[in-house]
A and B are shown apart, each in its own frame.
Chain A
Amino acid sequence: MQCADLITYLSDYIDNDLPVELTREAEEHLATCHNCKVVLDTTRHTVTLLKEHGQVAIKPVRRKAMFAQLETAFLKQPNQPG
């Protein structure tokens, strides 16, 4: 396997979506190719950092106000059969 192939298969490898034979070839390549190993490790780390960074939630006071408004709208909407 060449570097370009490894990069093509990188996401499938990370997601354990690669067939057994290709997984073996990818692992052989990663064992000897420093750059591809760096790309693999830094890609995984990138995902971890952004996953943590993205964990946001509505502020409790705004959440309460939003729910109250939506509940009013929910109860106002006419209930038609169907």
Chain B
Amino acid sequence: MADDQHLIAALRQRDTDAFAALFNQYADKLYRVAFNILKNDADAECVVQDSFLKLIEKLDGFEERSSLGTWLYRVATNLSIDRIRKARPTASLADDFSDDAPIMPAVFIDWAHTPEQWLSEDEKHRVLSAAISQLPPKLHTTFILREIEGLSTAETASVLNASTGAVKVQLHRARLQLREYLSTYFSERVNH
């Protein structure tokens, strides 16, 4: 946090080294979050750009209690979700109601200990993208921040303005839904 204060002070002085450091520290992280939500290269780049522009705009009045990183993650996550909502207004509305559905595992194929039965690398890519895209938005973003970005439960809660309890519940549901999706995929592969 003290580092952040120095960085913000330098940014306010329009120190280009400080800006380069900020960009290098966060550009790929924000891109990773946006790309995993949007699954589109150009849209993800726009989100990264807009997130930094928003910070530049707010710089002189920046009074966040959370860290710069948390603030940037939050902006990038929200901008990505806004884009999804605009692209698929009805689909994501319906999704919002299904993210507290209890998940009981129903497929018990043990594909963790057999060589993965992917048809090809393209197929693997397609199935994993589809698996994560079918999650309701809240579970989707929680999973990305916790598992792909490796943020702590507390950091994720701060980014999403949620309680740590809610983050834990969402991560649990996301993991089980993803497991079920991949298990179903592998059980169909084995049977055909």
Contact = CB atoms under 8 A, between A and B. Distances in A.
Interface of A: 4, 7, 10-12, 14, 17, 34-35, 38-39, 41-47, 49-51, 53-59, 62-63, 66-67, 69-71, 73-75, 77, 79-82
B128 A70 contact: no
B20 interface: yes
Contacts of B154: none
Contacts of B178: 46-47, 50
A11 B31 CA distance: 27
Q: State the 5 A-B residue pairs at the shortest beta-carbon distance, nearest first.
A: A54-B148, A11-B172, A41-B112, A45-B112, A53-B128
Given A58-B45, A82-B61, A49 B182 contact: yes
B56 interface: yes
B175 A58 contact: no
Contact of A54 (B36, B124, B183): B36
B139 interface: no
B147 A70 contact: no
26 contacts: A7-B176, A10-B175, A11-B172, A44-B112, A46-B182, A47-B178, A49-B128, A49-B182, A50-B143, A51-B148, A53-B129, A53-B132, A54-B132, A56-B31, A58-B28, A58-B45, A66-B27, A67-B20, A67-B27, A71-B20, A73-B53, A75-B14, A77-B14, A79-B12, A79-B13, A81-B60
A79 B148 contact: no
B110 A42 contact: yes
Interface stretch (B68-76, B85-93, B101-109): B101-109
A45 B31 contact: no
A39 B179 contact: yes
Given A41-B112, A43-B176, A57-B32, A71 B16 contact: yes
Contacts of A55: 32, 148
B57 interface: yes
B111 to A, nearest CB: 6
A2 to B, nearest CB: 12
